[in-house]
Amino acid sequence: MKKNVSITLMSAIAVGLAGCVETRQSEPKRTAVEELLISRAADHALSTADFAGLKDKKVFLEEDYYESNDKAYVLGAIRDFMSLSGALLVDDRKEADIIVEARSGALSIDSGESLVGFPEMPVPIPFSGTFRTPEVPFYKADRQYSVAKLALLAYDARTCRHVFSTGTLIGRSYHHFFKFFGFINWTSTELPEKR
């Protein structure tokens, strides 16, 4: 009887060890917070522009002078803001009354981290490898700031005369995470999606 119980127990352990499950998590190049910070800063920059001069005009957005990792979002946001101001968007520059050129001076994130306490540390264990001690923060801060610098130039599609320039458009966004005594968490953010 004892022998059967031992064999059954050993078999259950063997099956349990053989049946391990691995869950894969997606790890994109940037976090959602980083993408939200960048898009929010671009939205803030564009919200300061005056597109009143485009009302009821056929407008073509020239994309060749704009470069950034988030080009598609920013150009879409520019089209949105122009449309909200009454511009009539066209996809062919030959149909346009006005051509708008977009350019980017900056669209990125600065980040910083502060720690008062004990950081995670590797501890070598002879004949076993390495054990990592857990981080023990008395105070920890992770800060992320996003800055967008954009500019738009509008000119007449036929005469090439200057219609208007927005000048430099600056937008900012931030997200800060704080931890006190290892378990009290506090977030200060400008991102509505993360509140």
* Higher-scoring residue by pLDDT: 1, 70: 70
- Per-residue pLDDT, 10: 55
Residue 18 falls inside a structural domain: no
Segment 89-108 mean pLDDT:
97
CB 101 within 8 A of CB 157: no
Q: What is the CATH number of the domain that holds 187?
A: 3.40.50
Number of H helices, E strands in the chain: 3, 9
Residue 17 falls inside a structural domain: no
Residue 131 falls inside a structural domain: yes
Instruction: Calculate the alpha carbon distances from 93 to 14, 96, 98, 109 in Å.
Output: 70, 5, 9, 34
Residue 36: give the domain boundaries.
26-194
Is the pLDDT at 91 greater than 60? The verdict is: yes
For tokens 């803001």, the residue is: 81
Mean pLDDT of the chain: 89
Residue 61 falls inside a structural domain: yes
Name the nearest CA neighbour of 84 among 64, 55, 62.
55
Quote the number of domains for the chain.
1
Residue 16 falls inside a structural domain: no
Residue 78 falls inside a structural domain: yes
CA distance 116 to 179: 10
- Per-residue pLDDT, 29: 85
Is the pLDDT at 83 greater than 60? The verdict is: yes
Segment 50-55 mean pLDDT:
94
Sign of CA dihedral 33, 35, 37, 43: negative
Is the pLDDT at 62 greater than 60? The verdict is: yes
Query: pTM here?
Result: 0.78
Residue 9 falls inside a structural domain: no
CA distance 144 to 31: 12
Residue 92 falls inside a structural domain: yes
pLDDT digits (tens, 9 = 90+) for 118-174: 999 998 988 888 989 998 899 999 999 999 999 999 999 999 999 999 999 999 999
Please report, as a single letter, which amino acid is at residue 184: I
- Per-residue pLDDT, 182: 80
